[in-house]
Structure 1
Amino acid sequence: MIRKNTALAGLAAIGVGALLLAGCASTPNTSSSESPTQEQLPLVGYEQVAASDLADGGELNLAVTSTPTDEGSWNPNHAAAQNVDVQQVLEPTLGYLVIPTEDGSWQVDKNYATSVELTSEDPQIVTVKLNEDAVWQDGSPLTANDYAATFAALRDTESGYETIPSAVFQAIDSVDVANDYEFSVTFAETFADWPNLLQTPPLPAAVASDVNSFNTAFTSAPAPSNGPFIFDKIDNDAKIFTLIPNPNWWGEKPKLDTITFKVIAQEALPQAFANDEIDYMEILTPDALETATSKDGAVIQRSGGLTWSHLTFNGKSAPFDDVNVRKAVGMALDRELIARVANEPLGAPATTTGDWIFMPGQEGYEDHFGDIIGHDLDKAATLLEDSGWKHEDGEWTKDGKTLTFSVTVPAGTESNINRALGVQDSLKALDIEVTLDQVPSAEYFNNIGAGKFQSVTFGWQGTLFPISSAQPVFYPEMEFGDENGYNYAFISDDRLGPLWEKANKELDETKRIEIAQEINEVIADYLPMVPIYPYPEVVATDKGLANFGTATFKSTDWSLVGYLK
């Protein structure tokens, strides 16, 4: 699966969704703001047990489709580490001050902090007291200076730090270190999603304080671990990476002997799982589900997910530099059909999504796309005519050019390709030819960042703090090749800046949601992307594997991943 992070704080991510599209239909989109009341999957799909129920030892073999070296950095806070597969490889070595819980709230991770408190509202100050037992993998203390230096690097927009952008860092006014194990963060103005900051993995101060080290020191080898596992073997040629328990880990002793990540192409994952090469796989297609269930002892897990698929337009290039063309294509997409054929064959309920900030089921969700844009071929044709396109002989032409476009997809990634075929089938009803532009998967996001596409379809994965996390996807406008953002439509709207500033300062949740709805309405007005559907998390694991698998919000406690006695 090809994925990419949107904002490291909260591990927002891009991921491809599962879709096998058969045929085309032109029924109107009936999805509405009632979607969240439809059948919902559980928040946690895996078996949760106590450490005493787990055996000591065991190996966990996992697959990824890209590596930190392939993407360009093992530094979890570097822009090149936005790919979710990179974060998956690094995750057992990382620790966070706060972690998501099963119900979507958050709690302090006592391995790293003894307390996290909002000690003042005006000015807004958050005070953190660290666990004095926490150390880096070499045994040196994990201190307040490490966090202060990391936050300083991530909010430095002038010195050349290549970072994953997030509004939370720019909201910081100062970080004050009281002693080695206590620091406070003062925000320049009220920032409602302040816990998002504390989901940032720290770097050693010596690394974070030096821009060259931050940018280049970890292109082919990992940064120091402060988690329950460390890297033991790194084979960048074979693309196999093995982790072992951290001998200096101060928390619950990990149960597993090893965790091994290996690169396996998406289309080869089902057979790799069936052949016992890997112990876990994400299921993206009905064929993969059938192959997985044929394995003796396989367990199929399902939970709600945070990833939503979409079609993103390159708003700086023809034909999508015209908002009418963008809206016409959006109106031609049969999102309901795509959602149904994507998810129901995986044994999961399906619904469309029409909100660019909240997921169906989250407080604040409304189907703005369905209400404002909808599925309407007649209106789509009128919009094209308003922009000077003429419909003759089964095609749209203007100034001697025919209206066509391509969807760029990563070669060999079945789910991306099939969803693009769904777009292709939908647009036939409007007489617009859609072609697929396949590029090597390793170059996929590089091409997107460089603006070398007309449209793309992947998925954005949300966070516990969706309002502030969504901002860099839509605002500000980006230029081709800009590595400090992920507004891959490359266009924006001047109304968004003040609205997001207002939302980020509002502590009253009801009022914040109202502002978020205004943001959604602006996005619907200039339409940089079409939201299609949220897809469920469906995975297969080996029998007996516990505390690991699919969950909507809850993070993995790697010290508790293991096999039942």
Structure 2
Amino acid sequence: MNQPRIPLARAVSAAAAALLLCSCAGTGGAGDGTTAPAVNNGAPKMTQLAVNAKARSQLKQGGTLNWAIDQLSAQWNPLQADGSEASTNDVMKALLPTFWRSDAGGTQTPNKAYLLDVTAETRRGKQVVTWTLNPKAHWSDGKPITWRDVEATWKALNGTEKGFRTASTTGFDQVESVTMGVDDRQAVMTFATPFSEWQAMFNNAANAPLLPADYIATPELFNTSFLDRIPVSAGPFKVAGIDRDARTVTVVADPGWWGDRPMLDRIVFKAIDTGAMPEAFAKGEVDFFNNGPNAAGYRRIQSLPDGEVRKAGGPNLRHLLLNGKSPQLTDAKVRQALFQAIDREAITRTDLAGLDWPYTPMNNHFLVPNQNGYRDNSGGLSRYDPQAAAQALDAAGWRLDGDVRRKGGKDLALRFVIPAGNSIALNESTLVTQQLGKVGIRVTVAPVKAGDFFEQYVYKHDFDLTAFALLGTPFPATSSTGSFQQGAGSNYSQVGSDALDSAMAEAAVATSVDGEDEAINRADAEAWQVAGLVPLYQRPAIYGARKSVANLGAPGLSDFVYENIGFLK
């Protein structure tokens, strides 16, 4: 699974760009095959973008693209706690409004199809952002997109009414009002406290679309309007059908779209178990899929005459997750002991073998190794140290009895839930079982149906241990908060602290790059102490694509422009 997360290495952080661009939106064009700027910590450079970028004039008009996704969602609201998942986002980004375009370096430019102009200024000591909407923009039911949609999305995401099951409230919880500007097509947003990453709002790269007021105005509507259906859209494509038996979602070019005509006639999103994607690609069943750190899939793509590996340094993170509400894991000291008993470098090397990817375990929850501001705040918890882990478990009352630890008549036994057919998760669970077994912790691996993994297990906290990937964005504070904040919908470890919440909040209102880095690193130090998420490595953004497919691949910090995706002439 992917969740909102952290940015790739840059010369300055994305939050710094937001601060520098406080008066107006940024400018800049996307490149292809560019290289990340050097930073001062010696980490390797990585390609920023690999999407086979081509001008629209070089593409055919028409055609069907078959795109593999890893689950057929039940919840299609991407801002709802159960809908904040990569497959959902892949589909909904073709259908919902987003106000920004992000280039390879994470610089934000207004998406003129929806946002004609935006200004950020200080009025009477408060930050005010004025959003001027495109008067041509409308929902598929014919209703115009207005300031009321901005207001409704804010009310749903600001955290004041707990019935809205949101993935994150970051930024929206700092807004005190949204009012109409000069007319219905202008929204004036006033912040109670400054929000440095305000460009993350209604942002495609940040997985944060605008939602229609009519379908989210109440908690019941927000939580249920998009259950097993997509009732309305406002993008270059519209829904043609959801087939649960075939596990497909078909979207077609919307003749009512007011922007550039989509180059494709349709996109068919096919839900396929991750492990089966490379062979489906080889058989011609799909034209594009996210291979991730799958060495066999990597080789399979390379073996095909019409296949192409598109690889870039993405902002994504592979991690292990501990459920802090599991009976044996409620003690933070026990969770910290697991951190020290797990050999993350061994897992990383095994996961990434054969991918030509740097073997660099991550020692920070928020920043990737080649990013400015990155440092190890673990206080030793990032170091593989089974002896220290054993001592900590002894101190917590879990004593060895034969080959397993017991306390109060109960074994220290954990259930590691993984999606069936996922070779990476199987490798991780096998190694973790061996490593924890050496310190007296018994692990049982529980493969479950891949299509049920998130909805039935992760979202419902039905696991002791699990592993998946988190999706990154160009906004470090915004993208990380939902995974760590107490009570946040996407905090699946269910652990946190007031100090961690405070540090993340300070990062969101920082007025300098140094201030943001300091706050994020304080938050990271707290994340090690609450010990719910074990960072493994910066996940390779490796995709398989037909050589004929253009403007689609490994996006880095950029976002896909769906109307420009197509086939070469």
State the identity %.
Answer: 30
The residue number in structure 2 matching 1:123 is 126
- The 5-angstrom pairing of residues 158-557 of structure 1 reads 158=161, 160-178=163-181, 179-199=183-203, 200-283=208-291, 284-369=293-378, 371-391=380-400, 393-445=402-454, 446-477=456-487, 485-557=489-561
- In 2 relative to 1, CA 333–211 (structure 1 residues): closer, same or farther, beyond 3 Å? closer
Summarize deviations over 1:530-552 as a string: whole Å, max 9, x none: 21111111111111211101121
- In 2 relative to 1, CA 260–321 (structure 1 residues): closer, same or farther, beyond 3 Å? same
| TM-score, scaled relative to structure 1 | 0.88
How far 1:138 moved relative to its partner? 4.2
How far 1:4 moved relative to its partner? 5.1
Distance 1:292 1:35 in 2: 35
Q: Which stretches in structure 1 are left out of the alignment for 5+ residues?
A: 11-33, 479-484
The residue number in structure 2 matching 1:47 is 52
SS in structure 2 at match of 1:300: strand
Distance 2:70 2:480 in 1: 25
Q: State yes or no: 1:37 paired with 2:32.
A: no
Amino acid at match of 1:258: R
Distance 1:102 1:245 in 2: 26
Amino acid at match of 1:387: A
Distance 2:370 2:43 in 1: 9
Distance 1:458 1:400 in 2: 32
SS in structure 1 at match of 2:394: helix
- In 2 relative to 1, CA 497–268 (structure 1 residues): closer, same or farther, beyond 3 Å? closer
How far 1:145 moved relative to its partner? 2.1
How far 1:521 moved relative to its partner? 1.2
How far 1:438 moved relative to its partner? 2.2
How far 1:264 moved relative to its partner? 1.8
- Out of 560, 563, 569, the residue aligned to residue 559 of structure 1 is 563
Amino acid at match of 1:155: N
The residue number in structure 1 matching 2:36 is none
> Which piece of structure 1 moves more, 186-195 or 460-469?
460-469
Cα pair 2:290 2:544 within 8 Å, conserved: yes
Amino acid at match of 2:474: L
Amino acid at match of 2:532: P
Distance 1:193 1:149 in 2: 20
The residue number in structure 2 matching 1:24 is none
- In 2 relative to 1, CA 528–212 (structure 1 residues): closer, same or farther, beyond 3 Å? closer
Q: State yes or no: 1:57 paired with 2:62.
A: yes
How large is the Cα RMSD of the aligned pairs? 2.4
Cα pair 2:287 2:546 within 8 Å, conserved: yes
Summarize deviations over 1:123-179 as a string: whole Å, max 9, x none: 011111112222223444222222222222222542733333222111110001111
Cα pair 1:449 1:488 within 8 Å, conserved: yes
SS in structure 2 at match of 1:525: helix
- In 2 relative to 1, CA 422–104 (structure 1 residues): closer, same or farther, beyond 3 Å? farther
Distance 2:55 2:427 in 1: 41
Cα pair 1:464 1:553 within 8 Å, conserved: yes
Distance 2:378 2:144 in 1: 50
The residue number in structure 1 matching 2:27 is none
SS in structure 2 at match of 1:74: coil
- The 5-angstrom pairing of residues 22-101 of structure 1 reads 37-68=42-73, 72-101=74-103
Summarize deviations over 1:25-55 as a string: whole Å, max 9, x none: xxxxxxxxx9963323211012111111112
How far 1:188 moved relative to its partner? 0.9
Cα pair 2:477 2:520 within 8 Å, conserved: yes
Distance 2:229 2:369 in 1: 39
How far 1:415 moved relative to its partner? 2.2
The residue number in structure 1 matching 2:144 is 141
Summarize deviations over 1:277-318 as a string: whole Å, max 9, x none: 100122242222222222221111110122212222122223
Distance 1:457 1:319 in 2: 18
- In 2 relative to 1, CA 5–236 (structure 1 residues): closer, same or farther, beyond 3 Å? farther
| TM-score, scaled relative to structure 2 | 0.87
> Which piece of structure 1 moves more, 141-150 or 509-518?
141-150
Distance 2:252 2:236 in 1: 9
Cα pair 2:63 2:264 within 8 Å, conserved: yes
Cα pair 1:220 1:236 within 8 Å, conserved: no
Amino acid at match of 2:386: L
Amino acid at match of 2:316: T
Distance 1:407 1:154 in 2: 32
SS in structure 1 at match of 2:93: helix
How far 1:3 moved relative to its partner? 4.1
Q: Which stretches in structure 2 are left out of the alignment for 5+ residues?
A: 7-14, 16-38
Distance 2:510 2:5 in 1: 23
The residue number in structure 1 matching 2:33 is none
Cα pair 2:472 2:479 within 8 Å, conserved: yes
Summarize deviations over 1:470-520 as a string: whole Å, max 9, x none: 223222157xxxxxx122222222222333333322222211211111111
> Which piece of structure 1 moves more, 360-369 or 504-513?
360-369
